[in-house]
Amino acid sequence: MTRMRMTRSPSPGGRVENDPSSDDLTGAMRRPGNAVMGKQSRKRLVIQLPSNGGQDCPELLEEETDCQVPAVCPGFRWKTHKWRKCQLVPWSLRQARPGAQETCGPGLQTRAVSCRQLDGAQADMGACLGVSKAMPAVTQRCQLPCQDDCQLTNWSRFSSCTADCVGVRTRKRALIEAVPMTPVDIVLSGSVKKV
């Protein structure tokens, strides 16, 4: 079951970006039958508000979902690497679409996925396939925003399950550009902090 939690968008005048190389965690809980249930979350931020009639920003900036921790920790885990830059769908597939000559529109992103032992050492992919859930996706759809559209950071990776075998991780983000006269609201762990 996935529960969505709305988080306020930053106000105009600044750009904010995630550091997708790390994750954040929330609390874990026990369910009947001693199954340990945890939470996973992912976030994205507005880095440019729309202008001149560009596409509006979505209100959904944070998602949270339940996850179940295995009764016995497996010796292997999937490691997902950072998504590469969004690449436009090939020209031959876009020709019939309006605005096909633009440098914006639907695209694809790729990333590497590797198998690791719990100590972080590289392992054979077959080891993870034997003890883990399915391999995480290596491609995803993305959108290269047009000049006047709302621009968002990519979704961060879902955090580790809060009670998983890997341990605690934190997630960082930083203000990358600000207009001095306008405060920017930065969404930090469910609270808003003025910069």
Who wins on pLDDT, 145 or 181?
145
- 52-58 average pLDDT score: 83
Whether the predicted model's global pTM rises above the 0.75 cut: no
Does residue 25 have a pLDDT over 90?
A: no
Q: What is the pLDDT of residue 54?
A: 82
Q: What is the pLDDT of residue 64?
A: 86
93 falls in which pLDDT band (50, 70, 90)? low
Whole-angstrom distance, CA of residue 193 vs CA of residue 4: 22
Q: Which residues, 6 or more positions from 148, have their beta carbon under 8 angstroms from its beta carbon?
A: 50, 51, 52, 53, 54, 55
Who wins on pLDDT, 152 or 186?
152
HSE, CB side, 13 Å, CA atoms: give it for residue 101: 0
Q: Which residues pair with 139 in a beta bridge?
A: 110
